[in-house]
Amino acid sequence: MAGSRRLVKFAGNLKKEISSIIELKVKDPEKGFLTINAVRVSPDLKIANVYYTVLGDEEQRSKSQKVLERSSGFIRNELKPSIKSRWLPELRFFYDDSVDHAAKIDSLIRKIHENSDPEKG
C-alpha cells in the first residue's frame, strides 16, 4: 500500500516538473500547445510513461511527438535538480487519445438525441 502511494506521489511530481520544463524551457517552435495529462511510473521507478494531448490536427500531433522524442534527454536532464530519486526514469511519451474518444462518444450521443422523436420521449 505504501509503495503505491509512493508511486502516485512520484508520478505527480514528475508530471508537474515535466509540464513546467516543456512549457518554459523547450523552445522548439514545432512543439505546439501541449498538455501533460498523466504520468505512469513503473514499480522500479526506471520508466515513466508520459501521456499528453496537443491542440491541433494529426500533423501537429506528429510534430509534437517528434519534438518530445528529440527533447527527452534534455527534459530528463532538467529534472535532475528537482527529482530526488536514486534513478531518473527513462521518459516515454504517448499521445493521450482518451479526450478524443470522449468527444467522439459525446458527438454520437448528441446525434442520437437530435434524431430521436420528441413526441415519443
User: Residue 53: what are its φ and ψ, rounded to 5°?
Assistant: -125, 160
Per-domain boundaries in the chain: 2-96
* Tens-digit pLDDT profile for residues 32-67: 999 999 999 999 989 999 999 999 889 999 999 999
The model carries a pTM of 0.80
Work out the number of other CB atoms within 10 angstroms of the CB of residue 26.
17
Span 2-96 CATH architecture: 2-Layer Sandwich (3.30)
